């Protein structure tokens, strides 16, 4: 039995949308209606707005509670009340790959039996449903997870301050890694700037592959809210 359909993943910034999709598919496809919220933080007004928007679509909507690997018990009641509004709810950790098989099975249970919609073998670049700045920020943040471990990424926001194409065809990206602690700033920069160069180098190479052009990635690290 073959199934095919369209699945949309939505959620606020840093909820883990790109990490979830990348680990579900084991390949780079940028996204952004599974509704994704974080188990380790209080449900925000933005979470509620996203949920309301998804429910108004009149489509099958699944609530995905991400980051259960670091969730705090006190926050459980903050999102459990949302479960009654959705057809299904499931807890996962995208970064740790916890319960991703269960999520896939749940998604497939909603898909109709039909032939493949598109020939995925002919896709040359990722399908982008997010604006460019959001996509680039997600890719940079993914590299922070890769090189910095589990704790620091949850204390870092990626702000794209400039995105422009230069006359020579190079895509210029100026991004600031904003963290709430001086010690994290120092760790992100690394000894003699090695860590930030490592993060930037890998992120730049991936962006060049997805955009099919040269990329100049200018990364800085600041402490702030």
pLDDT at site 31? 39
Tally of domains in the chain: 2
Q: Where is average pLDDT lowest: 13-27, 100-114, 149-163, 198-212?
A: 13-27
Do 93 and 37 share a structural domain? Answer: yes
Do 105 and 136 share a structural domain? Answer: no
User: Between 31 and 174, where is the model more confident?
Assistant: 174
Do 110 and 85 share a structural domain? Answer: yes
- Domain finish residue from 122, 152, 173: 122
Residue 127 lies in a domain: no
Query: In whole numbers, what is the pLDDT of the chain averaged over residues?
Result: 77
Biggest CA pair distance of the chain? 56
Q: Is the pLDDT of residue 34 over 90?
A: no
Q: Where is average pLDDT lowest: 6-10, 26-30, 33-37, 150-154?
A: 26-30
Q: Which domain holds residue 105?
A: 9-122
Do 141 and 205 share a structural domain? Answer: yes
Q: What is the bridge-based pairing of β-strands 88-91 and 9-11?
A: unpaired
Do 103 and 14 share a structural domain? Answer: yes
User: Between 52 and 100, where is the model more confident?
Assistant: 100
Do 117 and 14 share a structural domain? Answer: yes
pLDDT at site 30? 41
Do 117 and 17 share a structural domain? Answer: yes
Do 115 and 13 share a structural domain? Answer: yes
Distance CA 167, CA 171 (A): 9
Strands ordered across the beta sheet of 215-223: 156-165, 171-179, 215-223
Do 162 and 118 share a structural domain? Answer: no
pTM above 0.75, yes or no: no
Quick one: average pLDDT of 199-204? 89
Q: Where is average pLDDT lowest: 82-86, 122-126, 180-184, 191-195?
A: 122-126
Do 144 and 114 share a structural domain? Answer: no
- How far does the chain reach from its first CA to its final CA, in angstroms? 50
Residue 160 lies in a domain: yes
Residue 3 lies in a domain: no
Do 73 and 143 share a structural domain? Answer: no
Do 178 and 101 share a structural domain? Answer: no
Distance CA 106, CA 18 (A): 19
Q: In this structure, what CATH number is given to the domain that contains residue 172?
A: 3.30.300.20
Distance CA 22, CA 3 (A): 20
pLDDT at site 223? 92
Q: Is the pLDDT of residue 214 over 50?
A: yes
- Domain finish residue from 67, 98, 122: 122
Residue 214 lies in a domain: yes
Positive/negative CA dihedral, 130, 133, 136, 142: negative
């Amino acid at each position: 039995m073959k199934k095919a359909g369209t699945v949309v993943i939505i959620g606020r910034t840093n909820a883990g949308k790109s990490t979830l999709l990348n680990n579900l598919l084991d390949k780079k496809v940028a996204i952004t209606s599974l509704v994704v919220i974080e188990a380790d933080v209080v449900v925000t007004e933005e979470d509620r707005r996203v949920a309301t928007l998804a429910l108004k679509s009149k489509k099958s909507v699944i609530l995905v509670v991400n980051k259960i690997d670091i969730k705090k018990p006190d926050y459980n009641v903050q999102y459990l009340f949302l479960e009654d509004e959705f057809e299904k709810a499931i807890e996962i950790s995208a970064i740790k790959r916890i319960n991703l098989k269960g999520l896939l099975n749940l998604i497939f249970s909603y898909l109709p039996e039909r032939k493949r919609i598109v020939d995925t073998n002919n896709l040359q670049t990722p399908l982008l449903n997010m604006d460019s700045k959001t996509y680039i920020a997600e890719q940079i943040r993914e590299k922070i997870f890769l090189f910095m471990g589990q704790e620091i990424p949850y204390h870092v926001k990626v702000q794209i301050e400039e995105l422009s194409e230069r006359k020579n065809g190079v895509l210029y990206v100026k991004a600031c890694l904003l963290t709430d602690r001086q010690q994290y700033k120092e760790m992100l920069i690394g000894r003699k700037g090695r860590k930030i160069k490592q993060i930037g180098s890998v992120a730049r190479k991936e962006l060049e592959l997805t955009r099919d052009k040269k990329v100049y990635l200018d990364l800085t690290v600041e402490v702030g809210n």
